[in-house]
Chain A
Amino acid sequence: MLRNHKFITCMVCMVSLLVGCKKDFLEIEPKGKLIAKNTADYDLLLNNPVLVSFSPISTPVMGDETAGISTLFPTLVTGTMSLADQKAFRWEDDIYLPSDNDSEYTQLIRQVYIYNKIINEVPNSEQGSDAQKASLKAEALAGRAWVNFMLVNLYGKPYQEATAATDLSIPIVKEADISQTKFTRATVKEVYDLMVSDLTNAIPNLPKASNRLRMSKAAGEALLARY
């Protein structure tokens, strides 16, 4: 009888230990979520709608006749404006509310994060050919250049040959790492130089135009032509 008990105990212990002792028992990813690993993942990351959505806080139509329609002006009920729109219509100095957390800057820097992530990680990704990886990296470089272009013109003086080397603009961010804390403003010239070099490196590898959401060689060249 006692032997039977010992046997049962051993069996039970073994079963439980087997289950618990698998090293990767805890390392499972919840479904519906993914850690980027394959080249194809980075390709899909470039379809992220965030990359093409940029809406300034306020886009009021500046003519009295259109924005001043009483039915459209309120924020509630039948209206379509926001508080910032109403302030802009009234030409107030500060259209932002103290509680506004989102801004043009945060929307754009989000895109820079994604582009940096792709630029830095895609060379090491799996299951992709070198040509595919180069193409994706090129799209990201060109995308980053486009975003930097918008940022430097929103938050820095316009490019002027004489003063570009001393006018301050935005910090240059090249790493996708949210734990960074030190940022210094670069000069306008530095940012433009980065954009030009990004585009120059990217253009040879950019793909042909396919989907209007994605960067193509023609678009890259068009961008470079602006500088």
Chain B
Amino acid sequence: MQSVKLRTLLHAAPPKPKQMYKIYRHKLSVAMRLTTAILLVTFMQASASSYGQRVTLNMEKSSIENILKEIRRQTGYDFLFSNSLNKSVGPIDLKLNDVSLEDALKSLCQKANLSYSVDGKIVVLEARNKTTANDPPQEIDVKGRVIDENGKPLVGASIAVILQEYSEDKKTTDFSITMKGKKIAAQTDANGDFFLKNVNEKAILSISYVGYETYNIKVSANMGVITLQPAKNQLQEVVVNTGYQKIAKSLSPGSSVNPDMKIMTERSTSMNVLQRLDGLVPGLVINNAPSARENPFLIRGLTTINANKNPLVVVDGIAMDMGNISSVNPQDVENITVLKDANATAIWGARASNGVIVITTKKGTSGNLKINYDGFVNFQGKPDFDYFPVLNSAQYIQASRETFDPAYWPYGMATTYNPNIGVSYGISPDRQILYDMDRGALTQAQGNAKLDSLARLNNLDQMGDIFYRNAMLMNHTLSVAGGGEKHTFYNAIAYTNNHTATPGAKNETFKFNTRQDFILSKRLRIYAIADLNYQTTSSENWISPDNRFVPYQMFRNPAGNPIDMSYLGVLSEAQRPSIENLGKINLNYNPIDDASTGFNKGKNFTGRFNSGVSLDLVKGLRFEGVYGYVYGSNRSQQYRDHTNYNQKINTLNFAVANADGSVTYHLPNTGGQYSVNQATQQNWVIRNQLGYNASWKNDKHQLSALFGQEVQEQVTVTNSSSVYGYDVDLQSYSMLNYQSLATTGIENPILAQVGSVNSVLSANSFFGETEAVPRNRFVSYYANANYTFDRKYTISGSWRNDQSNLFGLNKAAQRKPVWSIGLKWNLGSENWIQDMRSVISQLALRATYGITGNAPQPGYATSKDVLAFFANPYAPNGQSLIINTYANPNLTWESTKNYNLGIDFGFLDNRISGAFDFYYKKTSNLLGNLPVNPLSGASYIDGNVGNLSNKGIELLLNSKNIVNNVFTWSTLLTLSYNQNKITDLGMLTSPIVTAINQVKSQYTVGYPAFSIFAYNYAGLNKEGNPQLKKADGSLTTSQANTLPSDALYMGVHQPKWSGGFSNQFSYKAFAFNINMVYNLGNVMFRNVNQTYTGAYLVQGMDFSNGNLHADFANRWKKPGDEARTDIPVFIANAGDSESKRYLDYYIMGNTNVVSASYVKIRDMSLSYQMPKKLIEKIKADGLSLRLQISNLMLWKNNDYGIDPEFQDARFGTANMPVNQKTITVGAHLTL
């Protein structure tokens, strides 16, 4: 409707009173029309005569005004039209012969290019639209960009072009609207851009994307940046995948987290999917320190002591061994859900007490073929072999002089191999000089000169050049996905090259992953996955030295030849020639030549086969079946040639010198020792479930339920075999008399074995076969129901019963169910909260309670005594049976009561969103040593005894700080706090009755798990020996007569506060992410010098030992020093040292416990989306490049330069740091 303005125009001639008719030439508003009509009616009172409605005209070159006047005269109708019309329409000819008014008007309008409409007795005339539908419409090219509410480009949004035509029949008021166009005229590319050619300029664009409000807008040449808003009723359209079903997060009362997949796929320091979740999931604490090697991943604290400590990992609905997780390519992962509380995990039954991590891999989508390539190279450099604080060469020589005690350890004893008192190490070069000076073989001057020249040498440069190379991790993944209506596929191939820092080592993995989905009919779908992984490794026999080795010992002389280090072996230089002559085997040793005397090879194949069926039966009822099979085969070979130093010693252990000077070798002196180890894993699962989904009254009631049955089996069989005298090329080996070698052994060998008069070969060495994972089977039934009322109130429950051969046969043990119940209240959807909508966009409360379980290890116990084979060489046939476990028919799984309260929130239109959880877990029936009366035959048996509890809070916070078309900044904060307490442990194999027991124990009743106890160190006494301050205040240096209360509780070595802090910035085509992780509140023992006695500093062929800690120079040396130092005195005589003091009072003293808190930048990455113009040439959809720096220590709370991730918190020793400060270059190409 065109609005018209009133413009009155007075007729030039004064109106003749008789002429009741008037021609009004103006534009009129509707209101005015009505008024006019009413006025006209009143004026027309006189002219009540009926006018005929037929027209007869014969006018030539007449103005429209005159024509209208004539028609007016004949019909009595009034006309309204604008002044400009009169001017614009020139003189026209019009001949009409007794036609109706309609026809007359039609003819007139056609001639004059006008359009008319009749309103009562008034006819309105208007100019016909300049551009008619018959005119060809203009076409334009359209371009634009689509982003989401965070400013991130929306990739793959659909653009539809719609043309709308409207036509109406004025007389009958029938109308029709025709819409036509193209549903998917274009899709946005990797940068959110789209481009359309030749679009009708009248068309409308409709931009849509799943989960977002569709956006309609009229086309224009440059549409600019269009921001789509998330669909209002799908604010949290996150889907929780429990592995059995997918539920919308808004309807699930469980506590679960979906970590950010983008950060996960771009991390590059490891190909292990779980490692990449560091800092992204509140409640999941990843601890890489060596003291946590049994439990690197803990969800909500430690829930068991003797059963499996790891969370359950599920891939595509089937449980997977944690050890195999590296076979899942992070690029293939679509979604990860971490389930934390009972409501989420109870469905997994007696293996889910530690939490469940559900991984879903990608599948194809119908539409165009999507090709993705992702590659990265992570440059790791050499490991930090310089990390440890040690003495330099000059200080080392000085320390060696000071600790040299030839009276205690005379030269004769030092140079003679004595198998009874342990291996007698050869003397290091500096000691050799000192002995020579002592016994007169060198003068003082000569000796000092030699020592000085040693003091000037440093082997660190050579160490780095010879034994390490720059390490690098490289991965390429290429995936092709696509499909049609009935079939979609996702195929990916990947290659990973883990070029470790060890020279000559190879580690390559080839992967092929395919998933096919078939829609056979409206009701039936099936899918099949085959994920094949093949890894091959090989390495030689290189050592990995670090700066804890003797500092002046060079590896190559100036000419480039390897330097002899035979003193590191078993014999001293003084004795070596005589043994060599006897045995006719050369016994010199240097690590460079020894490196090529052996190899290790491995081939590991894993195949994961999944298939599933989904059949819709009747309305809402669906049958789903999942069938999975995992096959793994790992074959490793180890070869040590007879030229390998340790092999040579072994050969001499079994060699006898004959009277005539010849040698009889009872172990062959040819070929080498060759061992093969093969592990075969076969796991299968069959699961059938019926699911029911219904909603009625327009989603007022929503119900989903499922019931299922699952059967599974897991077993891994290993066999091993070892032969001597193996020739790698001929594949031949020697026949040995194992019976005599293992029982009586060899008498009078040239070189005796340590601790044994006759040299004896270990009985089980040549063949063994065991079930490394004993065959375990489960038969389970489970059910789950979820009901939501009015989309606001949800109640959910689950139940599962596991029966297994792992449990005792008593019915009570087998039939215990696992169950949970949960409630959720979506406050945000309540009517009364809608007023605060602008502030509170989302609010939901969750409460759950349930029981979860943790199964015992296979073979733990049954109802009768379990016997095991034991090779007893003295028995008839060398065989015997021993009692492995005593009968316990009541053995059952550990059970945990889980309570969880949570709030999901969103403020300021979800600008700030997140979740907060509080949990309390009480675990009972811990597997442990159940005490029994020792007079019955045993002191304890494997049983259920023991309790512990965990409580804590978790926070997940997402914040969109700045979001505009050019620059965005968002933050993610995760936080977990855990407090653990052990309340009962049953009987301990080593009871805690002294302070020493207490310090050695990390599981103590009344304290948290992973506790660190230390001695109350009271400094040194007058003789330089460490003192313990007991609880009663007295001081002692002896290890006897202490009580557990004499040890102090220092804290725990597992972090109390843990989480991540990520910031993501984007500016146009650049994006910058910085992800930090933090671990706070835990303690560790720092590394201090641990050698204070002994005649040797070097320790055989251990290249991580030989030097002393840097502290050593500051130790107590003379009376009075106890005032300035607390480092004990060195007493060479081991017997003296042991009887006078207990060194652990210092080494494990409370003064050496420091905070293990730290904050690290896990990765910092910069990425760039290449502009469209450049990539169009290669017909690509998107290309992004990224540069990343990983593992930068930001802050640590100890003054000693210790990186807590490489520190063994319980014993104060450290590992060589690797993969710190690495640089990655990566690219992602989409075609």
Contact = CB atoms under 8 A, between A and B. Distances in A.
B1029 interface: no
In this complex, the member of B859, B887, B1134 whose beta carbon has the largest number of chain A beta carbons within 10 angstroms is B1134
Given A98-B994, A173-B936, A35 B865 contact: yes
Interface string B599-640: 000000000000001010100000101000000000000000
Given A30-B774, A36-B867, A47-B872, A180 B936 contact: yes
B422 A78 contact: yes
A31 B866 CA distance: 11
Interface string B922-962: 00000000001111111101000000000000000000000
Contact of B869 (A32, A70, A74, A113): A32
A117 B872 CA distance: 20
Interface in B677-736: 686-688, 709, 711, 717
Given A50-B882, A75-B1138, A99-B993, A35 B688 contact: no
B779 interface: yes
Nearest to B933: A181
Given A32-B869, A48-B881, A49-B872, A178 B1134 contact: no
B1231 interface: no
A75 B686 CA distance: 56
B881 A109 contact: no
B613 to A, nearest CB: 7
Interface in B773-816: 774-777, 779, 803-805, 809
In this complex, the member of A30, A45, A112 whose beta carbon has the largest number of chain B beta carbons within 10 angstroms is A30
What's the interface size class on A, roughly?
A: 35 or more
A3 interface: no
A109 B935 contact: yes
A183 B934 CA distance: 11
Contacts of B932: 178-179
Interface string A24-53: 011111111111100001001101111000
Contacts of B1138: 73-76, 79
Interface in A42-80: 44-45, 47-50, 70-80
Interface in B969-1018: 989-994, 997
A49 B882 contact: yes
Contact of B939 (A28, A31, A79, A101): A101
A176 B937 contact: yes
A214 B688 CA distance: 56
B770 interface: yes
B625 A213 contact: no
Contacts of A109: 934-937
In this complex, the member of B862, B874, B936, B1139 whose beta carbon has the largest number of chain A beta carbons within 10 angstroms is B936
B862 to A, nearest CB: 7
Interface stretch (A8-16, A131-139, A193-201, A218-226): A8-16
B989 A44 contact: no
Nearest to A77: B1134
Contact of A77 (B770, B809, B991, B1093): B1093
A179 B934 CA distance: 10
A180 B991 CA distance: 23
Contacts of A113: 883, 936-938
A177 interface: yes
A177 B865 CA distance: 10
B779 A25 contact: yes
A9 to B, nearest CB: 6
A160 interface: no
A13 B805 contact: no
A129 to B, nearest CB: 18
B990 A101 contact: yes
A15 B711 CA distance: 11
Contacts of A156: none
Contacts of A47: 872, 875-876, 879-881
B1040 to A, nearest CB: 8
A151 B1206 CA distance: 51
Contacts of A180: 933, 935-936
Contacts of B1045: none
In this complex, the member of B939, B989, B1094 whose beta carbon has the largest number of chain A beta carbons within 10 angstroms is B939
Contact of A211 (B809, B876, B997, B1139): B876
Contacts of B934: 105-106, 109
Chain B facing A: main interface SS: mixed
Contact of B865 (A30, A49, A117, A183): A117
B421 A78 contact: yes
A114 interface: yes
Contacts of A29: 862
B937 A33 contact: no
Interface in A167-216: 171, 173, 176-181, 183, 210-214
A179 B774 CA distance: 27
B763 to A, nearest CB: 12
Interface string A96-129: 0111010001100110111011000000000000
A212 to B, nearest CB: 8
Nearest to A210: B876
Interface in B1037-1088: none
A99 B998 CA distance: 11
A112 B881 contact: no
A178 B882 contact: no
Given A8-B615, A16-B688, A48 B865 contact: no
A20 B709 contact: yes
A77 B777 CA distance: 47
Contacts of A181: 933, 936
B868 interface: yes
B51 interface: no
In this complex, the member of B868, B1135, B1139 whose beta carbon has the largest number of chain A beta carbons within 10 angstroms is B1135
Nearest to A50: B882
A41 B881 contact: yes
A117 B864 CA distance: 11
A162 interface: no
B876 A173 contact: no
B867 A34 contact: yes
A180 B805 CA distance: 26
A12 to B, nearest CB: 5
A175 B1014 CA distance: 45
A109 B934 CA distance: 8
Given A19-B686, A211-B876, A171 B1134 contact: no
A97 B870 CA distance: 31
A75 B524 CA distance: 73
A163 B451 CA distance: 76
B1136 interface: yes
A135 B867 CA distance: 21
A35 B864 contact: yes
B884 interface: yes
B858 interface: yes
Nearest to B1041: A98
Given A16-B709, A16-B711, A27-B805, A49 B870 contact: yes
B523 interface: yes
Contacts of A210: 876
Contacts of B880: 44-45, 47-49
A44 B868 CA distance: 10
A18 B934 CA distance: 46
Nearest to B1136: A70
Minimum-distance CB pairs A-B, first 10: A113-B937, A30-B774, A47-B880, A47-B875, A98-B993, A70-B1135, A77-B1134, A74-B1138, A30-B859, A44-B881
24 contacts: A5-B521, A9-B623, A13-B688, A20-B686, A26-B804, A27-B809, A29-B862, A33-B868, A35-B865, A35-B867, A45-B867, A47-B875, A76-B1134, A77-B422, A79-B1135, A98-B991, A99-B990, A99-B991, A178-B886, A178-B938, A179-B936, A210-B876, A211-B875, A213-B876
Given A47-B875, A48-B870, A116-B937, 16 more contacts: A1-B521, A5-B524, A16-B709, A25-B779, A26-B779, A30-B775, A31-B717, A32-B770, A32-B774, A49-B870, A49-B875, A73-B1139, A101-B990, A109-B936, A110-B937, A113-B937
